Amino acid sequence: MTTGNSHRNGGVSFISSSSLKGIYNNNSTNTKVTTTSLTSDRQLKSTTSFSSSSSFKPKPSFRRSSTGSIAAGSSTAKDDTRGVRGRVRVAVRLRPRNAEEAVADADLPDCVELQPELKRLKLRRNNWDSDTYEFDEVFTEFASQKRVYEVVAKPVVESVLDGYNGTVMAYGQTGTGKTYTLGQLGEEDTSARGIMVRALEDILADISLETDSVSVSYLQLYMETIQDLLHPANDNISIVEDPKTGDVSLPGATLVEIKDQKSFLELLRFGEAHRFAANTKLNTESSRSHAILMVHVKRSVKGKDSALSSENGNASHVAKMLKPPIVRRGKFIVVDLAGSERIDKSGSEGHTLEEAKSINLSLSALGKCINALAENSAHVPVRDSKLTRLLRDSFGGTARTSLVVTIGPSPRHRGETASTIMFGQRAMKVENMLKIKEEFDYKSLSRRLDIQLDKLIAENERQQKAFQDEIERIASEAQKRIAEIESNYAFALEQERLKFQKEYLESTQKLQEQSVKDQGKYGNGKVDVMLKDDSIDEMSSGQSPILLAEVNEVKKLLQNETVLRKAAEEEISSLKNQVMQWKMLEAAKNSDILKLHKTLEDESHKKANLEEEIAVLQSQLLQLSFEADETRRNLGKGETEKLSGDLDSLIHQANHQLSRDFGDGTSMEKLFEQVGLQKILSLLEADDADVRIHAVKVVANLAAEESNQERIVEAGGLTSLLMLLSSSDDETIQRVAAGAIANLAMNETNQELIVSQGGINLLSTTAANASDPQTLRMVAGAIANLCGNDKLQVKLRGEGGIKALLGMVRCRHPDVLAQVARGIANFAKCESRAFTQGTKMGRSLLIEDGALPWIVQNASNETSPIRRHIELALCHLAQHDVNAEDMISARALWELVRISQDCSRDDIRNLAYKTLTSSPIFQAELKRLRIDYG
């Protein structure tokens, strides 16, 4: 089964007869992708609009309180918070004639005449008179399942993914195709898949299974009893209503978590097998119960910064650091109502008659509630039926609701057709107040704090062990060095002592030998070698010259010995000084060791303090868990607005004024009247960074509305945004400014102004310096819009626009890659258009800038928007024969063959097939590869 946002269209039929299969033709819809506007997080976002159904998409607006609703009550009226106003959207779908009608009514004209281009139908009273009715959308008998889903259900699915509740319901006479529209599984033909299968496919493609979850319940309301189709033994489920909020829940229903499309299809098959059906004159398999599919979507919101504070507004140091993640919960309900029928026409008898009575009673109760809501009645009879209790949030409540009324063409059933049309007309008058479902994920915060606490304890223990090891290492090295110094000193001292003792003995021996020689030579008796200098002089004065010379020599030897003795004494003194220095060094080491011991004691005190802080943190965590429910209620009563107002009061006066304008709930049009566009634009140059951020956000929101764009450009807003993009270093300002420029770039005149004022260079520079995926997405969206202008292709490429697009693929974020792929597809489409118009062209500029390898690499990307744009770009590039050789060498030919066979969109698949069969170069290559194609 093909997954993604785009599906293959094909012929389908409401009738099981093979002779009528294929009566629904393939109706292609022109799709244009727009850049997401920077609206408030509590406003609905719409990233895709359909030119054929633009009126079906609601325009969000604010109101102070909701009108009378099924969910209205005294408690909810007091707690009503600001929401987004949205009317119930109603579409009409005509079933083709079945085999019986083709024979019985062959000579009679259809009772209805459709005017889909005017979203209008005419119900014939007779051959010359008819009544005209207008709806949000009118589908002919040839409308495909895909188009019905994208127009009716896809906006509701997108709202559910953003955190709102949504409902899609089918109403009509038995046998007009309600179950086919909603619950067709399409196992044999994927183009026949109904809204249930396609909705779950889009939801699973958009969420992350690591952080988000999707759970499904499948029920039927049979004879005023709610039964579980996923657990048939559970056949009497009660309805529980929250007395404060009025929310309706079914706690006894089986809730199954869905991980992939295959498991969801198995659940639907299992549930359909246990649904009650019977054979009547109007339908061979008439549903005898109302089927209700409930899809619960839980999504984690990334990038939102929120801080918990105490009731008196003074946040503690720990509470400021606690930032719980925000979780959005959306509930998507698909209701396949049993057919309204007249007993005489259906031929119901016995138990089937009782079933028909129960069905008509519940549908009658639903009609009464819708009548009361349409007329703003003070009382809405919501408790007349379990069906109205289950749908109290869908009509007049807080859910975004789309209704498909199905009719048949047979003039025999004109009365039932008129009743169905009037039901849809009354439903169009019902207004809902859409409210986002957000809450803090305190369990996730608690787990995160426990992990952080464990990490701090482990890090503290590791640091203590490392510190103790370091102290032991330093002490060991000090002891080792002291022992080594003492050993070296003792050895050196002993060597010096032995040296001087040896020299002293040698000198004494020489003197004695000399004295003996002198005594034997002169015979004068002993010569006292120890005579003093003056005695030797006196004695030598009366001796011979030989004796005098010897005496002088002995005197010289004594002097040398004296010098050597003094040198030895000096060296001994130097060694003593060294010993003193070593002892001082040892004392210093001992002092360092004492300091280390003191540091160790300080660390022990710090450890004790840290343990006390951990205990405080644990106690505060317990306190926060006890206050979680009260905090959630306070936030629901509007304290969020109070906290934001308190913060804004600390900012500059201009910033406070701007925030107050939004805090009062004024619309964009009222902002024009109260503040003035020139004043808002002047704040873009304010010195206060917060003021500039607020101002550029206001301009971006204004630029999201097409009616405001011309006034913004005329007032110089585009020039101011480009200057802000070039001068500001704040990535928040750059992101918002790029988003505003992307909105303005949807207009062809504005595109030329952006290029003439150097916008391509500024966007390219911003893309090169940015790191935030959201900033890159805005810049890529702006460049992608410029790529769709035929007149700007050469200049866009010359100023580095294509290089900037290819450079942003480094981010690898799917939203950024989708915008890059859209820009490449727009650029390739313009080149293909120029080629078909006869303009002489060389090789594609995309190929020259090296985009082809990335295009081929992402032709089979799992993300459907990326894959769809890349497939379209390949088809457009292949239409020009100059590009054929490059595409063959880059293996793009294989991707074209795959697209022509397996692409889920008929228009792209047919374009690829046409290109391959019409290109002689491609045909020659396929023939060379022995591939029989065409």
Q: Which residues are annotated as a binding site for ATP?
A: 172-179
Within 635-665, residue ranges assigned H as helices are 640-648, 653-663
Q: What is the DSSP string of 196-208?
A: HHHHHHHHHHHS-
Helix, strand and coil content of the chain, in percent to the nearest 5, comes to 60, 10, 30
| Cα–Cα distance for residue pair 739/723, rounded to 1 Å | 14
- Segment (H or E) for 586: helix 545-634
Rounded distance between C-alpha atoms, residue 917 and residue 934, angstroms: 6
Q: Is 396 left (phi over 0), alpha (psi -120 to 50) or beta?
A: left
Question: CB neighbours of 659 closer than 8 A, spacing ≥ 6?
Answer: 644, 645, 648, 651, 694
The backbone torsions φ and ψ at residue 500, rounded to the nearest 5 degrees and listed phi first, read -65, -35
C-alpha 248: how far from chain center: 30
Q: Which helix (H) or strand (E) holds 677?
A: helix 677-682
Whole-number CA gyration radius for the chain: 45
Per-residue burial over 457-480, b if 16 or more Cβ lie within 10 Å, else e, is eeebeeeeeeeeeeeeeeeeebee
Instruction: Please report how many Cα atoms fall inside a 13 Å half-sphere around the Cα of residue 786, on the Cβ side.
Output: 34
805-839 residues labelled b (16+ CB within 10 A) or e (exposed): bbebbebebbbbbbbbbbbbbbbbbbbbeebeeee
DSSP assignment of 693-719 equals HHHHHHHHHHHTSHHHHHHHHHTTHHH
CB 896 within 8 A of CB 875: yes
DSSP annotation of 428 reads: T
CA–CA distance, 84 with 46 (Å, rounded to integer): 14
Helix H or strand E segment including 748: helix 748-756
Q: Are 113 and 130 in contact (CB under 8 A)?
A: yes
How does DSSP assign 246-263, residue by residue?
A: --EE-TTS--EE--SHHH
Among candidate residues 584, 562, 460, the one with its CA nearest the CA of residue 507: 562
For residue 695, give both structure tokens.
């101002």
φ, ψ (nearest 5 deg) of residue 719: -60, -45
Beta bridge partners of 401: 167
* Backbone angles phi and psi of 91, in degrees to 5: -125, 150
| CA neighbor of 171 nearest in space, from 248, 88, 225, 91 | 91
610 contacts 463 by C-beta, under 8 angstroms? no
Contact present, 405 and 91 (Cβ < 8 Å)? yes
How far is Cα 332 from Cα 218, in angstroms, rounded to an integer?
12
Q: Is 32 helix (H, G, I), strand (E, B) or coil?
A: strand
Measure Cα distances from 796 to 677, 761, 784, 803, 869 in Å.
Answer: 30, 9, 11, 10, 19
Q: What is the rounded CA–CA span in Å between residue 184 and residue 909?
A: 24
Close Cβ partners of 615 (under 8 Å, ≥ 6 residues apart)? none
Burial class (CB in 10 A: 0-12, 13-18, 19+), 203: buried
Exposure class string for 226-246: b at 16+ Cβ within 10 A, else e: bbbbbbeeeeebeeeeeeeeb
- The annotation places the binding site at 172-179
